[in-house]
Amino acid sequence: MNDLRGTQRREWPTRLVLLWLVGLGTVLGMVAVFMDLVEDVWFREGFVWDAPLIIGLHHLSRPWLDTVMRLVTQTGEAGAIALVIVLTGWFVYHHRPLDAATVVVSFMGAVALNSLLKILLARPRPFLFPPLVVESGFSFPSGHVTAAVAAYGALAVFLWRQGHRGWAVVSAAWVPVVAVSRVYLGVHYPSDTLGSLIFASLWLLVVFSVRDAYARRQQPASETAGFPS
């Protein structure tokens, strides 16, 4: 029995080290890809895969699919704002100010940083075919996708931590659906949406890391990390 316990004690540190290494490698990889995208956008070098992908999606265009994609893309703007309001209200009602603040900071911070990146990089929107919706402003990164990550991504984290794994996956999976809709409608390059997915995911990681560090210092041990039971 003592030997078994000793083996288990040795295994846990090893697993934690491996998890940390995998996590660190993933984060560094995401940063590297995002910086490569930013560099190419900054120097207007372009991406050989952007045009074929956006045109390929455009070839799938059907009147009914156009309608669906217009509805889907709204979930990355009005839908994301509505979700943030509902989540914030939920946590305030259940006396969870830290989680309410986390949702607000996640969304507002992501939108603000996205706007700043748009201004700095000033990438023109694609015009390989007449877009199916009218959009103004610059293209990189996609504001709709960034908002979707900040809102649906945050919801997915809370759901996952509360044990609702299936709904967490559904919430997270909705983000790439929004990304596809932006490319399909012709208002963003695929690289715009990829940049948003990476940048906003890294921002979400920072927000929840700060939230958890603060919770360990300030919140009672009995408080859960997700929705109230």
Residue segments in the chain with a per-residue pLDDT below the cut of 70: 1-12, 219-229
SS3 183: helix
Domain range summary for the chain, segments of one domain joined by +: 50-218
59 is catalytic: no
> Residue 42, CB half-sphere, CA atoms under 13 Å: how many?
8
Q: What is the pTM of this model?
A: 0.87
Looking at the chain, the whole-number percentage of residues with pLDDT higher than 70 is 90
Question: Which one is catalytic: 59, 94, 144, 164?
Answer: 144
pLDDT in tens, 44-68: 888 999 999 999 999 999 999 999 9
Distance CA(129)–CA(167), nearest Å, equals 36
94 is catalytic: no
CB proximity list for 38: less than 8 A, separation 6 or greater: 117, 121, 195
